[in-house]
Structure 1
Amino acid sequence: MKLDYLRKLLFAAIIITSIIVFTILQGYWVLWDYRTAPSSGCLDCDMFPDLLLSSLLPLLATGILHLTYYWLKPGLLCRTVFCVIMLILSWYAIDTAIFDEREASWSTYTHIWWIVLEMCILQTMAFGLIFGGIYYALHLHKNYD
């Protein structure tokens, strides 16, 4: 019983850590050109705290998703796909907010959502697939239902 509890705790720690790390890495990869641009909210703030604080969005989203998994009990592949989609959508929203704060608020962009989509499609897909592989591999050999 204690070993099972420790395995669940380790699994949760790995998932939480990977979400935070992947949020920061993909954010820097997408928004690298704007890392030194002044923020509209804080003229001398770095982008790292924005990304670190923004990592709460995908953590909350996947947490709510896992609560629904507790009741619905979908299969492993379905859980993995929904987690990856939730992360990709969260990362897209984060990238859009930071781009708007650091670049678009100082310029005259009319299609922010489209511009950010073009900027982040490769990065969000790459990190989404990596996270999906990690998530699937961690769940493959055990059953937490």
Structure 2
Amino acid sequence: MDRFPQKISTLLRSTLEQFGLQKGVESYRVVHSWGKIVGVPLCNHTRVTGIQGETLFVATDDHRYLHHLTMLKPQIIRKLASDGAGTFRDIVFRYSQRFPVPVAVQPTVAPPPAPLNAEEEAWCSDLTKELNPEIGEIMARVLRKDLQAKHVTNDHPETLST
């Protein structure tokens, strides 16, 4: 086991790979950013249905969009990569009524994080005060984000829907 300090991003990536969760994270990134990538009009008529290797599968509810999407494929692949939503070599577009697309889908914006109360701030500070200052600050930020995320999911249960 390596005992030298490592970047948390490196540790997180290796942990996700170790437990076979990397594909799930990639799928989430693509689905979550799809509306931003293709825009609201196309998002209203398409849905990401899967990922297999370096191929993204997308269903559309209208035949007329197939040609348009095919012409936009290179741009969509570049935009997915530049937005950090995944690196794909191909996108397969299909017409499908099996995966109905919700009407009037709007890209969602997460509510702003709720501020922590004094007790929560004190808890974060107490847990990290004995650590190296740099690591302590990073850990405090992680704890604060976790607490804020719990506030959001408790205050807005609709943010949990996928």
TM-score, structure 1 as length reference:
0.29
Higher relative contact order (CA closer than 8 Å, sequence separation 6+): 1
Structure number having the greater strand percentage: 2
- Larger radius of gyration between Structure 1 and Structure 2: 2
Structure number having the greater helix percentage: 1
